[in-house]
A and B are shown apart, each in its own frame.
Chain A
Amino acid sequence: MKHSVPDGLRELLAQAVGAGHAPWRTLLKPGDWALLLAAGVLVATSYPLLWRGGTADRAIVKRDGQVVTELALNVARKYEVIGAIGTTLIEVQPGRARVLSDPGPRQYCVLQGWLTRANAVAICAPNHVTLQLAGRGGRNEAYDTLNY
């Protein structure tokens, strides 16, 4: 096979693999090695840190335990759920969601304010409506449920 390669091409290939050059490692100075090592460690540590699924990407609205809708947390919007004693108004904004208004007498779920973490939940018990955030993945979540 080798003799069938034209001389010009062989020369080109030899150049491509670096014949006649100093080896690659001589191009790296001590500081380069140190910086590459430090950068490598930094990148490796960023994996578990940023991949635990702490932030939420969708809101799940349930009535009587049945999922009514799933709202993506990308765009701002409002959503109305008809519950047992009236209408619960859910508000979604990029990265967060809340119960804007609820007919319940003590307003616990409204007072809870914005939910931002995955698995945070606001329960409007009198109206049988819950609002829960969910992150991606689902297995390695930081919390099973969050309440305040």
Chain B
Amino acid sequence: MTRSTIELPVTADDYRIARYAAAAIALTVAEAALPSPLPGIKPGLANIIVLVVLARYGWRDAAWVSLLRVVAGSLVIGQFLAPGFFLALSGAVCSLAVLALAQHLPPRFFGPVSASVLAAFAHIGGQLALARVWLVPHDGVFYLLPLFATAALVFGAINGLVAARLLEAPVTASAALKGVS
């Protein structure tokens, strides 16, 4: 094998983001195997990783993990550039925007559960907005809003609890290296 002549400098940050992104992608792929009663209703387990990264390393890292997860996850499950990819991307961008605001909530009163629920609503909002503009050009999509909102609330709360539990554990060097603790 010819040695690559291109040397890309890789920082510790890159390794960390890549490991967390890998964990998020694994969850995305595992989740794709779950049957869903309605297209769009999914637990969104990868968001647990995003929440953990947000709490530990800040919004920039969380954004990297989230967007890498959307792009690489869709490549793995064969959805890249399909409508589902754009819906996921729109949801991820909206939830990152909300998380950027939510991270400034006073930590004394608000934990990962609040961030998770808010992000879940933003996620579904972003997806529905894109679906309304692009895929279903009339208000029929909003009939499903109560169902989507219920799913966002339930899964957002559960994911937030799992993230809170993970964040509760002290971060060790090996846990940080493995990407999940």
Binding site for B on A (CB under 8 A): 18, 21-22, 24, 27-32, 35-36, 39-40, 42-43, 46-47, 50-51, 55, 57, 73-74, 94-96, 136
Chain B residues numbered 132-153 whose CB sits less than 8 Å from any CB in chain A: 136-140, 142-143, 145-146, 149-150, 153
B143 contacts which chain A residues (CB < 8 A)? 50-51, 55, 136
Q: Please, how many residues of chain B have a CB less than 8 angstroms from a CB on the other chain?
A: 30
9 A-B pairs closest in CB distance: A95-B138, A31-B109, A31-B110, A27-B164, A94-B137, A32-B113, A94-B138, A43-B149, A47-B146
A46 contacts which chain B residues (CB < 8 A)? 145-146, 149
B161 contacts which chain A residues (CB < 8 A)? 24, 27-28
In the complex, which of the residues B110, B136, B138, B157 contacts A29, with contact meaning CB atoms closer than 8 Å? B110
Query: Of A22, A32, A50, A51, which is in contact with the most chain B CB atoms at under 10 Å from its CB?
Result: A32
In the complex, which of the residues A22, A30, A35 contacts B168, with contact meaning CB atoms closer than 8 Å? A22
A24 contacts which chain B residues (CB < 8 A)? 161, 165
Binding site secondary structure of chain B: helix
A74 contacts which chain B residues (CB < 8 A)? 136, 138
A29 contacts which chain B residues (CB < 8 A)? 108-111, 113-114
Count, A-B residue pairs, CB within 8 A: 81
Contact A95 B137 (CB under 8 A): yes
Given A43-B149, A43-B150, A46-B149, A32:B142 Cβ within 8 A:
no
Binding site for A on B (CB under 8 A): 105-106, 108-114, 117-118, 121, 136-140, 142-143, 145-146, 149-150, 153, 157, 160-161, 164-165, 168
Contact B114 A55 (CB under 8 A): no
In the complex, which of the residues A30, A39, A50, A94 contacts B121, with contact meaning CB atoms closer than 8 Å? A39
A30 contacts which chain B residues (CB < 8 A)? 109
Query: Of A31, A40, A94, which is in contact with the most chain B CB atoms at under 10 Å from its CB?
Result: A31
Contact B146 A35 (CB under 8 A): no
Give complex CA distance A3, B150 in Å: 41
B108 contacts which chain A residues (CB < 8 A)? 29
Contact B150 A27 (CB under 8 A): no
Given A29-B109, A55-B138, A95-B137, A21:B165 Cβ within 8 A:
yes
Give complex CA distance A24, B121 in Å: 22
The smallest beta-carbon distance between B31 and chain A, in angstroms, is 19
B105 contacts which chain A residues (CB < 8 A)? 31
A40 contacts which chain B residues (CB < 8 A)? 153
Measured CB to CB, the nearest residue on chain B to A57 is: B140
The smallest beta-carbon distance between B131 and chain A, in angstroms, is 13
In the complex, which of the residues A21, A31, A73 contacts B114, with contact meaning CB atoms closer than 8 Å? A31
Contact A51 B164 (CB under 8 A): no
Could you list 13 A-B pairs, sorted by A, with CB under 8 Å?
Answer: A27-B112, A27-B165, A29-B111, A32-B160, A35-B110, A35-B117, A39-B117, A43-B146, A46-B146, A47-B146, A55-B138, A74-B138, A136-B143
Contact B139 A55 (CB under 8 A): yes
B153 contacts which chain A residues (CB < 8 A)? 36, 39-40, 43
A35 contacts which chain B residues (CB < 8 A)? 110, 113-114, 117-118
